[in-house]
Amino acid sequence: MKKLALITALSSTLLISGCDFFKHKKDETNAKEMSEWSCTNQDNINQIQQYLKDEYLKQVDKNLRDTNYYEADQVLLNQINSGLKFEIKNIRTVTTDPKTATQLECESQLVVHFPKGLQKRAENAYLEQPCEECESEGNTTLRDHLEAGEYKLTLDNDTLKGAFNYDITKTDKEGLSLNVQNQSAVIDGVALVTVNAVQYEAYVKANKKNQEQNEKSNVENAEQTALAQKSMDIRKKELDEDKAKQVDRLNQTWDRFTDEQKAQLQQDQSEWFEKRDVDCKVISQKSVGQLSDSEKETYQKQSNYWDDALSAQNQEMQYTNCFNQRTAERIIYLNNVFN
């Protein structure tokens, strides 16, 4: 919490002759003191308003430096900062007995006046913010963002309004001090409106660039996906043809056995069929990411461009490849089983 001190002279140090004159000067001093000991004293209010303006200028400068990768419209920024006005109104003294109190609690409404048309520009900019800079999700607007805060700031008709509290404290030596509360929320809100407004064109430019890059990336991705599909289709045709050959060779090998030999091998052959099917189903589920580069087939090196359909097709092909290898191994075994 930041403080703004206001020092008020409580007595005169001048030695003046004449009781009536001294009494008159003393009355003037008391009148000034009681005027300043008030939530509605204009000098107090002016100092708070200027303090808020100064703090706003610091905050908006910091925010712009933190986001300097977006170019700010300096001409517009100067116009905003010159025309921006902080106004404290609807003041209410909360303290029950100000005459005997040493601290006055003051409630008020703070109204910040923006240049005409600035609100609409800031609202458009808020929606235009590139995604990595978005402070909101979905269809949240600038108004929604400000109203969702603790102090329920309201943005309407180029003005930002919110509850604003401050107090005045009597001190023994320094006189009166002003203590400004919850100004950070207000200043952050005002700075947010300004930053969005002056960076609006930069947001539009950034989004256009991002859109062009996305479109280019989508075209390249579509081309690579088509290449992945073509490569996969070629390999699938080879595997399917090889599968048909292996099945035919296995059948021919089996047919060469005598009935007695077939009877001896029947149980083993049935168990092998089941084992081949189970093993190949397990192997087919292995993801491409688990394969080393040396284990990957040519078509699998395009896996970054696969969609769900291509991934499913790859699983079928891995099953077929396993099927072919196990069948070829079985043919060799059967050719030598009775030798």
Task: Please name each of the domains of the chain with its CATH number.
Answer: 23-208 (no CATH), 227-336 (1.20.1270)
Q: Which two tokens stand for residue 257?
A: 């056995």
Report the C-alpha dihedral over residues 251, 257, 259, 262, rounded to 10 degrees. Answer: -70
The whole-number pLDDT of residue 27 equals 40
CB–CB of 214/295 below 8 Å? no
SS3 291: coil
Taking residue 176's Cβ as centre, other Cβ atoms within 10 Å add up to: 19
Q: Which parts of the chain sit beneath pLDDT 50?
A: 1-34, 133, 136
In this structure, what token pair is assigned to residue 262? 């077939």
pTM over 0.75: no
Q: What is the pLDDT, as a whole number, of residue 150?
A: 72
Is 7 within 8 Å of 33 (Cβ atoms)?
Answer: no
pLDDT of residue 179: 87
User: For residue 172, what pLDDT is reported?
Assistant: 81
Nearest to 67 by CA among 134, 146, 133, 140: 133
Cβ neighbors of 277 (< 8 A, separation 6 or more) are none
Q: Please tell me the predicted confidence (pLDDT) of residue 132.
A: 60
Exposed, middle or buried by CB within 10 Å (0-12, 13-18, 19+), for 24? exposed
Partners of 112 in the β-ladder: 86, 160
Tokens of 80: 């905003």
CB atoms within 10 A of CB 126: 25
- Whole-angstrom Cα Rg for the chain: 41
Q: In this structure, is the dihedral angle defined by the CA atoms of residues 206, 208, 211 and 216, taken in order, positive or negative?
A: negative
Q: Give residue-wise pLDDT tens across range 261-299.
A: 999 999 999 999 999 999 999 999 999 999 999 999 999
So what's the pLDDT on residue 138? Answer: 60
How many other C-beta atoms can be found within 10 angstroms of the C-beta atom of residue 271?
10
Give the residue from 230, 316, 334 showing the smallest Cα distance to 280: 316
In the structure encoding, which two tokens stand for residue 78, read together? 């100067």
| Beta strands, E only, the chain | 3-5, 85-93, 103-113, 154-156, 159-170, 176-180
For position 134, what pLDDT does the model report?
52
